[in-house]
Structure 1
Amino acid sequence: MMAEFVILGAAIGVSNIALVSFVIYLALVVLLAWLSSRAAPSGGFVSEYFLGSRNLGVCAFALTFAATSASGGSFMGFPALIYTHGWVLALWIAGYMIVPIVAMGLLGKRLNQISRRGDAVTIPEVLGQRFESPIAGIVGTLLIVIFIFYYLLAQFKAGSEILISLLSEVSHFQTAVQWTASITTSIWFLEGTEPDYVLCLTVFSAAVIFYVVYGGFRAVVWTDVMQGIIMFGGVVVMLVLALYFTGGLAKANQKLAQYKPPAFGTAKLTPPKNFTEEAIPRGTWLETEDGQLVRTARRVEIDSAEINSAEILMLRTEIEQEAVNPQLIRRDIQVEILERDPYAYGADIEGVYLRPPGPDPAKAGGFLALGMAFSFFVFWPFGGAGQPSNMVRLMAFRDTKTLRMSIITVAIYFSVIYFSLVVIFCCAKVLIPGMEVNPDRIMPEMAVQSTTMAGVPWLAGILLAAPFAAVMSSVDSFLLVVSSSLVRDIYQRYINPTAEESQLKKVTYAGTITIGLLATVAALYPPRYLQDIIVIASAGLAASFLVPMAFALYWRRATAAGIVSGMIVGCLTHFILTFVVSGGSLLGLQPFVWDVLFSALAVYGVSLLTKPPHEEVIRRYFDVD
């Protein structure tokens, strides 16, 4: 019976009614942006637009913090890792359960107090005022722009991929794709792009830029509240469906224990003589003469009677092959396997998906060694504390009671979300085989198949709104952080210090639109690995800001030179260990651990070697109740 459900789910696809439910979600986003702009108090544009007048209550503060932290990595990249490596991801993400305790508790109260005393609305402005140093503010602004722009590329890719999954079966979308294709071929910088991706990227970018520009921080918070609820509800519903269609967690694990990691390789493909197609799409199921199922790992261009180097993925267990819909298997193309490239770890280990270190195609020691597990347990909570987008929210809550209640709320929220995701996508490994060819698509594919199998395809639109909400809630926050840094810390401070509110408003709108458009153009050629990009960018931000901000808030003796040194050393250490050191780790530890260590040494050492800050500054920030 389960096989029939899987076949049905794979064959039907997303219906138009799923699109309707998704459009309703987008309409609510626009409506909230409009309502938030109407609700904004008059006067004080900068503080209102970038911080919502510093008056967030528990519900708004907790959900905007949670929604911003749970980005496209949480709902696209993280599920891809679970699907690829198994239950070990529960250990990998375990530190996220204490993110609110560390990220909100470590800096929250002091940062809120310090920012209010100087009426600062950006992180570079806090650092610049705290040390009376323009250099600290400028360096902070540059680091924010570099890393967050890098982060935006992955988020824009995730949002576009979700839209493609939602719209792929809609006839009007296919018509729009054909129209887009006719345009992209005539524009030089769009050559080589996929027209469906370009179209969805344009729609996604326009939606996010519109409501950020129109409503500012208050719109972002209001939409984050709605999106936080959708993310939570979507995960819970998908958990129920995943457990139902696998027969429960015990049965899912029984099947998963029989799975062996697939093998990648190459094959010679021979299409029939009357073959008229220009290419074989990525993800096409094929069958060898002896009955082994393989799947194309990349698009295969048909330029001769035989293709001798097609990249493929091979299933290695009978139980996985039985789960593939026979109607999706193309038998008109002859397949001869030329090379097999098994996983470096776990290729023939029984139950490898159920225990650490988890299978890995490249690492001989497995996906998550003990040292890296410890590193990620440290990285998630302290890395979250070092994100400027999270720090901005810490500047906007109403009072200490709000902070305490929000810590509890977000801790519960994250615990439910992330443990549920591990269960869902271990089940997805059982229900949907062969997604290693494009693992970043497993979240939308699981949403489509599970709802279709349940006979409620309209629900796919709502479930797809969950990862889409995660992406949008991060992108809007990052756009606002970058635009606020440029407008407040560059334009208002150095270009036009006497700018009036009306001028600041125009520059802010123009800056946000420009940044959004630049990110859209850059995302036309997106990074290949979504989660890797997100980890690198978020770790880079935390390496640059966590230790300097902590010293700025709690150590009287910290100096501007020490803080600037800490930001630069943390950033450089991160780049060296990530891109120069083999394997991206030193002594088996995640680069972030070393980033923080060297950043702390730089802040402490340089501060002691330079002139202490003025007593007036110390009294202003440390001796006032």
Structure 2
Amino acid sequence: MKVLLATSQSLPLLFAADETGPDAALISFMIYTLAVFVLAALSNQLLKSKSFLSEYFLGSRGLGVWAFALTFAATSSSGGSFTGFPSKIYSHGWILALWIGSYMVVPICTMGLIGKRLNQIARRSGSITVPDVIRDRFHSPILGLMAVSLIVFFMSFNLVAQFKAGSLILQTLLDGVSVFESTADGLAQAVSGIPFLSDGVSPEYLLCLLVFGIAVIVYTTYGGFHAVVWTDVMQGIVMVIGVIIMLPLAISQAGGLENTTKLMAKMTPPRYSAADKGGITLTLDKPAAEDMRIEVGTWITDNPIESSKVPLLFRVTAASEIPAGKTTVDEVKVIQLTTLEDIDRILKRKEKENFLSGVSVSNIDLVQYAYGEEASQQGAYVVGPGPSPASNNGFLPLSLAISFFFMWAISGTGQPANMVRLMAFRDTKTLQRSICTVAIYYTLIYFPLVVIFCCARVILPGMEGESDRIMPAMAVYLTENIGMGWLAGLLVAAPFAAVMSTVDSFLLLISSAWVRDVYQRNINPEASEKTIKMLSYLATFVVGTAAMIVAINPPQFLQDIIVYVGSGLAASFLAPIVYALYWRRVNAAGAMGAMVGGFGLHLAMYVTGYFENGSFFKPYQLFDFDPIIVGLFGSFICGFIVTKLTAPPPQELVHKFFYKEKAGS
């Protein structure tokens, strides 16, 4: 038997006095989930009366303003927006307002730049998917298959990240619910002999992954594009309501925005354990009677530092174990709070937190942030470039600020998931009105999130080791603090909705690539609708299941994956699509050059970063610019040069897409 001292997901235990809170939150969350399945069932009825392929993957190109605007916005507002982005705000402070600032003009760039023209070309060619458009525009099956390969490559990364985000969100909501805890214990026993499922995998996380994965796979497979769109509309409304509710709660419980900024100005980043070595040694007062597992999130304190009288306060960031009969464990991974106000805040509510007692600390081997640790840099959380554990230049130096302006404002145009939406709206008025609607929507989402999670630094200090959980943790804390535990279900539904709306879109994007672009267009053009229907269901199910399996042991940082995938897709697809829509002279070779050049240069920056920095997600920054700038620039240049060096496209192809047929001709 093992003693579990604390868990990383035990935040709701802070509010054990309100025993109805977790159950009430669960009920409200279940009502939301039920509504998702009802919409999927209704949308499935449309598949019986219309062309299956066009309806299943594109909604028969009939989206109106609200459906088009909210499905576009909800798809873009992924798990990164409600999990990775809050994590970045919490970790780096107010500078994230500049980091995300250009997102408000994404709809103008994305919808305004290519929306109308892409919709026209898709209608003229009868294209259903993005590779369809590329293949038909250049009359090149090879180019279409290349587009399929890149979409599957990047979207597979993103799906895994989104599955992780959805599972963490659900886990935070369900912790403290007795049925969930007992089911997780049963699952742990059931998989105890399976290394892949039991080694280092929390049974609570595994259970949430199964629940989330099965739910989203089933409703996406069953309902198709309209299920995705209708649920996106509901999820988009849930997201903005959740943020609007959280904003005043966060400001008031942090003592006001002015107080929050003043406290943040005094903060210095925590010290932390290096990934490969270091940490602290824990010694028990007496040998452990049985195996003791020290879970992530456990607080540990020791005697004050003699010179400054500041208590030593640590929080565990990786689980450790003290075997029965032993008294010590070495190299426990922790972070150490360095701001006195944060330490006082945690110690004052010690009885409500998960503290490990009867233990002493020794052999402290922790490292400082590369930027922001020194007392002279106390204001690092309120001014640029923001604290950074790895870079002496801080989180967001000027060159990267410029890079991310282009990253969000321009690269969103190169996302195939957004392009699919642009192929589905009804008419030009729908597009024009949706641009304004989405811009307002993003403003109501992203700026309040910056404020909320700057307040979170004051309200919930010490979560740097598990900052991807800060959104659901804040939702639970804020609502339980005002005695409205049921409201946590709605607030947690906001980030959950963001993840679901992205996962379902990506599932359809990948399955359509396999069924439409690989099977029907290249293997069996005469396939019956019944065959296509069965393969579409099967592909959606298989892709979702594969992503769920990989997510059992996912990468650590969600937002880093989001940035890599978003910038990589833009570097690969933006130039070929822009050239295809607006340049008559471009040919298949030029589009291929642009696609390969952008992908190759972008990947080269990340591979170089792996060898230089030891991490794939710390790319090499040529002239201190993000890889997206290098990739986009290289893609447009390569496409232009290759086009000029090769023969022009056939005139009948140019005429089809660039000339309007006269009536009666």
TM range (shorter): over 0.9
Letter in 2 for 1:93: I
Q: Does 1:497 align with 2:525?
A: yes
Distance 1:183 1:107 in 2: 52
Letter in 1 for 2:284: P
Residue among 282, 285, 296 paired with 1:272? 285
Q: Which segments of 5 or more consecutive residues in structure 1 lack a partner in the other structure?
A: 1-6
Residue among 4, 10, 16 paired with 2:14? 10
Q: Does 1:575 align with 2:595?
A: no
Residue among 562, 569, 578 paired with 1:541? 569
Distance 2:403 2:366 in 1: 33
Distance 1:410 1:156 in 2: 25
Number of residue pairs matched by the alignment: 619
Residue in structure 1 matched with residue 392 of structure 2 by the alignment: 364
Q: Shift of residue 305 of structure 1?
A: 2.1
Q: Shift of residue 156 of structure 1?
A: 0.3
Residue in structure 1 matched with residue 276 of structure 2 by the alignment: none
Residues 295 and 189 of structure 1, relative CA distance in 2, 3 Å threshold: closer
Residue in structure 2 matched with residue 320 of structure 1 by the alignment: 342
Name the stretch that deviates more: 320-329 or 383-392. Answer: 320-329
CA deviation map 1:55-74 (0-9, x unaligned): 10000000000000000000
Distance 2:320 2:389 in 1: 22
Distance 1:80 1:262 in 2: 15
Name the stretch that deviates more: 340-349 or 428-437. Answer: 340-349
SS of the equivalent of 2:388 reads coil
Q: Does 1:330 align with 2:356?
A: yes
SS of the equivalent of 2:624 reads coil
Distance 1:408 1:72 in 2: 23
Q: Does 1:98 align with 2:117?
A: no
Q: Does 1:506 align with 2:530?
A: no
Residue among 323, 334, 340 paired with 2:366? 340
Native 8 Å contact 1:59 1:406 kept in 2: yes
Q: Shift of residue 389 of structure 1?
A: 0.4
Q: Does 1:517 align with 2:550?
A: no
Distance 1:514 1:445 in 2: 32
Native 8 Å contact 1:9 1:448 kept in 2: no
Q: Shift of residue 608 of structure 1?
A: 1.2
Q: Does 1:68 align with 2:75?
A: yes
Q: Shift of residue 272 of structure 1?
A: 3.0
Residue in structure 1 matched with residue 225 of structure 2 by the alignment: 217
Distance 1:198 1:284 in 2: 21
SS of the equivalent of 2:366 reads strand
Distance 2:235 2:291 in 1: 42
Residue in structure 1 matched with residue 131 of structure 2 by the alignment: 124
CA deviation map 1:442-499 (0-9, x unaligned): 1111000000111101100110000000000000000000111111111111221111
Name the stretch that deviates more: 576-585 or 508-517. Answer: 576-585
CA deviation map 1:66-113 (0-9, x unaligned): 000000000000001100100000000011111100011111000000
Identical-pair percentage: 49
Residue in structure 2 matched with residue 612 of structure 1 by the alignment: 648
Residue in structure 1 matched with residue 295 of structure 2 by the alignment: 281
Q: Shift of residue 277 of structure 1?
A: 4.3
Q: Shift of residue 10 of structure 1?
A: 3.0
Q: Shift of residue 183 of structure 1?
A: 2.1
TM-score normalised by length of structure 2 = 0.91
SS of the equivalent of 2:622 reads coil
Distance 1:184 1:525 in 2: 15
Name the stretch that deviates more: 549-558 or 304-313. Answer: 304-313
Name the stretch that deviates more: 64-73 or 557-566. Answer: 557-566
Native 8 Å contact 1:9 1:449 kept in 2: no
Q: Does 1:257 align with 2:260?
A: no
Residues 238 and 9 of structure 1, relative CA distance in 2, 3 Å threshold: farther
Residue in structure 2 matched with residue 36 of structure 1 by the alignment: 43
Residue among 137, 142, 152 paired with 2:159? 152
Letter in 2 for 1:606: V
SS of the equivalent of 1:483 reads helix
Residues 561 and 305 of structure 1, relative CA distance in 2, 3 Å threshold: same
CA deviation map 1:190-217 (0-9, x unaligned): 2412221111111111111111111100
Q: Shift of residue 40 of structure 1?
A: 4.8
Listed as ranges, the matches of 1:101-250 within 5 Å are: 101-192=108-199, 193-250=201-258
Residue among 56, 61, 79 paired with 1:54? 61
Native 8 Å contact 1:8 1:453 kept in 2: no
Native 8 Å contact 2:12 2:175 kept in 1: no
Q: Does 1:302 align with 2:322?
A: yes
Native 8 Å contact 2:271 2:369 kept in 1: yes
SS of the equivalent of 1:307 reads strand
SS of the equivalent of 1:482 reads helix
Native 8 Å contact 2:13 2:176 kept in 1: no
Residues 41 and 117 of structure 1, relative CA distance in 2, 3 Å threshold: farther
Residues 9 and 252 of structure 1, relative CA distance in 2, 3 Å threshold: farther
Residue in structure 1 matched with residue 4 of structure 2 by the alignment: none
Native 8 Å contact 2:15 2:480 kept in 1: no
Q: Shift of residue 43 of structure 1?
A: 3.0
CA deviation map 1:228-254 (0-9, x unaligned): 000000011010110111222111111
Residue in structure 2 matched with residue 3 of structure 1 by the alignment: none
Native 8 Å contact 2:12 2:476 kept in 1: no
Listed as ranges, the matches of 1:578-589 within 5 Å are: 578-581=606-609, 582=612, 583-584=618-619, 585-589=621-625
Distance 2:388 2:221 in 1: 43
Q: Which segments of 5 or more consecutive residues in structure 2 lack a partner in the other structure?
A: 1-10, 274-278, 305-310, 613-617
